[in-house]
Chain A
Amino acid sequence: MNWWCSSTRQTWTWTPQPYLGSMLIVAAVAAVAAWWALRGRHTDELVAARAGVGSADGAVAAPAGSIATSVEGTSRGRTAALLFGVLGLWAVLDWPLASLGAGYLATAQMTRQITMVMVVAPLLLFATPAPLAVRAIGWGRRLAVLRKMSRPIFAVPVAAITLLAVNAPAVVDPLVATPFGAFVMDAAWVFAGFALWLPVQCPHPGVRRLTGGAAITYLIGQSIVPVLPGFFMTWSDFPIYSTYELAPRVFQGFDAVTDQQTAAAVLQVGGMVLLWAQIAYRFLRWSYQQMEEGSPRRKVLPGAGTATP
């Protein structure tokens, strides 16, 4: 059993080849979740109380372990997010998607990237209870770093540069050739995903999240990032990645250029759809909040908008 996927240039086979490293990572995330559910949230009242005091949303001190749910989302929602986040992480990091992506099909690689950045990262951030984030980050220097990372002025360039770098052929081809390189690239996706979503989804109550129109504007700005690599992949006359150009074919007739153009579609359309679904959800929620906040005022001014005969 290999510890991580990489490009081997061997003929593709549908015989399962699980990867030790991916299984360990998924197991570690599941273990943290299990520990928190069974013991963690009941054992650190100080963390929870502090979280209540520092909540940017103005949440007051609440019973231990309940701050996160009082800030945003429900326990059931978090559980579902955790479940889908872990399953998504497993799908992205293990056979067959990881093997196909690392050595055979650019389409599989882009599917992995989009899933990691646009699905797994926000789900795991949403699933993280605030007290757990407090326990992991604390209230000291690490929180200061997290605050800086959660600012759009930091998150936008970091996520953009990371995502552009991990799509550049000069980076991709050498990295996927070895398990260590492929691991570094997958880690870069995780980093980029968290960097992208931290400003709007940071679970630490000591960090001020973007909400409403600001969050929507930020996400619209981030939706531009996939366009550049997608553009080159769509319009290039030749395959830009030697890995996928010279890999044994998995599906007859699905040549390297077709694969590349499909990958571009996955990156652009898939990425856009996932991001815009979030934007739409946030816009609707924001709109309803605005309407609720505005309704008493309309009652105060009954004459407004009643000029119709």
Chain B
Amino acid sequence: MPADPAPWSRRRFLTAGATVAAGLSVAGCSLSRGSTPDESRVEGTGETDWSGTLVEPPFPKPAVTFTDTDGEPFPFEERTEGRLTLLFFGYTNCPDVCPVYLNTLARAKEGIGGGPGSKPLVLFVGVDTARDTPEVMKTYLANIDPAFVGLTATNEVIAEAIKTVKGAPVVLGEPEPDGSYEVGHPAQVTVYTADGGGRRIYPYGVRQQDWVKDLPRLDRGEYK
């Protein structure tokens, strides 16, 4: 049987120690910063510090009137004037994108705490007009963030609003045997700065930490 190898020399010991220290540093940095930024980061435009996509020229606001969860009219241009506004089209029976996206926004707001960007006007437009009634929307959003505003409208009004932000049209899926169905909708948030321009689009995949970084700047009127 071969004899045990010689004990480690000081050099080997130091090398091993340095390797451990390097490994701990790399892992520690990664752990403290999270993984790589979100997939929506714009490449090749010098915009590496922003998430989402810059819109130039900016989108106009949709000249439509929705209905809020209290049944009151919600003229979009008037009610969003001078405010940082986040517009999202989704539906309350959505199993994945909508709840994740809305919860991400809600937690990001909490993360900002106070000051600029802490109170954006988040508008959730229910595109499944058959099921997204004002009552359902109210209950749904109350579980995520009561400050979020639920809006409904006719299919025509919703289609017009989506067209304004160049989103994908709403598509109703085939009903399942149990009567449920999926709804295709734009999986993005359009951000209007206080000056009224739709300046940036944030697709699904933007992370809380990125919203926390961008919302205060957007609230101050910066968008690029």
Residue of A nearest to B19 (CB): A157
Chain A: which residue is nearest B20 at the CB level?
A157
> Do B31 and A232 touch (CB < 8 A)?
yes
Interface string of B135-151 (1 = CB under 8 A from A): 00000000100000000
Q: Which residues in A have some Cβ–Cβ distance to B below 8 Å? A: 9-11, 53-54, 139, 143-144, 147-148, 153-154, 156-157, 160-161, 164-165, 167-174, 206, 208, 228-229, 232-233, 236-242, 245-249, 252, 255-257
Which among A144, A156, A161 has the highest number of chain B CB atoms within 10 Å? A161
Q: Which residues from chain A contact B24 at a C-beta distance below 8 Å? A: 160-161, 164, 228
In the bound complex, do residue B5 and residue A168 qualify as a contact, i.e. CB atoms below 8 Å apart?
A: no
CB-contact partner of B35 in A237, A242, A255, under 8 A: A242
> Which B residues are within 8 Å of any A CB, using their own CB?
1-2, 4-5, 8, 13, 16, 19-20, 23-24, 26-28, 30-36, 38, 95-96, 99-100, 103-104, 107, 111, 143, 204-205, 207-209, 212
Q: How far is the CA of A256 from the CA of B104 in the complex (A)?
A: 9
- Determine whether the beta carbon of A246 is less than 8 Å from that of B205: yes
**Closest partner residue, chain B, to A10 (CB atom):** B96
Question: Can you give 19 A-B contacts (C-beta < 8 A)?
Answer: A153-B8, A153-B13, A157-B19, A157-B20, A160-B20, A160-B24, A165-B23, A168-B26, A173-B36, A174-B35, A232-B32, A236-B34, A240-B34, A242-B34, A245-B207, A245-B208, A246-B104, A248-B100, A256-B103
Q: Is the CB of B1 within 8 A of A54?
A: yes
CB of B185, distance to nearest CB on chain A (Å): 15
Q: How far is the CB of B116 from chain A (nearest CB, A)?
A: 18
Chain B residues with CB below 8 A from A237, complex form: 111, 209
Bound CA span A1–B196, Å: 51
A245 to B2, CA, bound (A): 52
**Cβ of B129 to closest chain A Cβ, rounded Å:** 22
Cα of A206 to Cα of B28 in the assembled complex, Å: 37
Q: Are B31 and A9 in contact (CB under 8 A)?
A: no
Question: What are the residues of chain A within 8 A of B208 when measuring CB–CB?
Answer: 238-239, 245, 256
Q: Are B38 and A242 in contact (CB under 8 A)?
A: yes
Contact of A206 among B1, B31, B32, B95 (CB under 8 A): B1
Interface of A is mostly: helix
Main secondary structure of the interface of B (DSSP, over half): helix
Interchain CB contact under 8 A, A238 and B209: yes
Which residues of the partner chain B approach A154 to less than 8 Å between Cβ atoms? 16
B34 to chain A, nearest CB (A): 4
Q: Are A240 and B31 in contact (CB under 8 A)?
A: yes
**C-alpha spacing A248/B103, complex, angstroms:** 11
Q: Which residues of B contact A172 (CB under 8 A)?
A: 35
Q: Find out whether the CB atom of A11 lies under 8 angstroms from the CB atom of B96.
A: yes
Residue from the list B20, B31, B100, B104 in contact with A161, Cβ < 8 A? B20
Partner of A248, one of B23, B36, B96, B111: B96
Pick the contact of A170: B8, B30, B99 (CB < 8 A): B30
- Known contacts A147-B4, A229-B31, A238-B209, then 6 further A-B pairs from the complex at CB < 8 Å, ordered by chain A residue: A157-B19, A164-B28, A168-B27, A169-B31, A174-B35, A237-B111
Whether the Cβ atoms of B212 and A53 lie closer than 8 Å is no
Closest chain B residue to A161 by CB distance?
Answer: B23
A147 to B8 Cα, complex, angstroms: 13
Query: Which residues from chain B contact A228 at a C-beta distance below 8 Å?
Result: 24, 27-28, 31
Enumerate the 3 nearest inter-chain pairs by beta-carbon distance, A residue then B residue, closest first: A169-B35, A164-B27, A168-B30
B30 touches A242 (CB 8 A): no
Partner of A9, one of B13, B16, B20, B96: B96
CB distance from B41 to the nearest CB of A (A): 12
User: In the complex, what residues of A have CB within 8 A of residue B20's CB?
Assistant: 156-157, 160-161
Set of chain A residues within 8 Å of B143, measured between Cβ atoms: 252
CA of A173 to CA of B1, assembled, Å: 45
Distance (Å) between the CB of A100 and the closest chain B CB? Answer: 15
